Structure 1
Amino acid sequence: MLDWYSRVLELIDLRSFSNLWYWIGLAVVWSQASHRVLGVPYDMVTRAQRDGGQAEQDLNDIVRVNVTRLLYIQDTAGLWIFAIFHFVLTSLLILGFWYAIEFAQALALIVVPMAMVGGLSVRTARAILRTDGADLYQRLRRHRLIVQLIGMVSIFITAFWGMLQNMNFGAI
């Protein structure tokens, strides 16, 4: 009975970096992050730039709503969110890389780059609000490009770290 149980657990392998669901989740996180620029689907940006008219007005409206909402949250609760988030992030980093808990490492390798994307989003939102929508397409395109670059570097580092962890686990 015990032999069967150990074989099933060996087959499933519940560790983070060797689990297919972790990699699917990582791909979904970065896919959504690069598709939604400040909460706006990027196809709206390309359609508004191509067609103009009502599509452009819709884009301006949804960007205004999302930028206003993001900055309101940041201005009213930003300090508390910042403090709690960084407490959790520090805990993840200590658990993951000091105590070598693989699940915490896996979460940290998603959360740290997404924190950079969050900071970049607030910065871009403030820039859009300051300029009153001038050069909106360029700002959204640049924001998306930077998010994609952060995502590519993050996925590379995560894959490298995951392979290293899997090779070290296999050696034990």
Structure 2
Amino acid sequence: MEETACANSRREEARQEMGRMRLVCDALEKERDEALFQLSNLDERDEEPMFDSWETHAIQIALPSPSTNLGVMLGGGKGDDMFSSGMPIFVRDLVPGCPFDGHLKSAGCRVTEFAFNDITDLGAEFEDGVFISKVDENGSGAESGLTAGARIIHVNGIPVYDVMHTKALIHG
């Protein structure tokens, strides 16, 4: 009798905890839905330049010859196959020794590598899991309450690390 009462008490605590977790999940889903709504409405807003904060420099260089090839390969803009989204024009590559060598740099981007002996030095936390990108509305995932943006961290009690691992656990 006492064991039954103890088990009932634990079950009730678990139900209450599930209720609290459901409220948190509902709040997170609402926040996600609002963010997705705002993202989907970005096209409807005034077209403001996306790259106003890009740093620009004007330089004058006396060219040694009137050659049409300045040794600068540009990327971006509407005609670029790789970056056709209207991205601003940028320096894709420079021919070594060209007149602009030393004045311009490829992509104008600085990459810095940091080495850490201990992950705690980084000050960031990483977690396993995968995010659902799409749910078939007629599938069993939708029936069980899965939604796009939800995160899967375990499949059948096994932690998941990436998409391939998740698929293997689901199908295997």
- Which of the five TM-score ranges fits, normalised by the shorter chain? under 0.3
Greater strand fraction, Structure 1 or Structure 2: 2
Tell which structure's C-alpha radius of gyration is larger: 2
Q: Which has the higher contact order (CA 8 A, sep 6+)?
A: 1
Select the structure that is richer in helix: 1
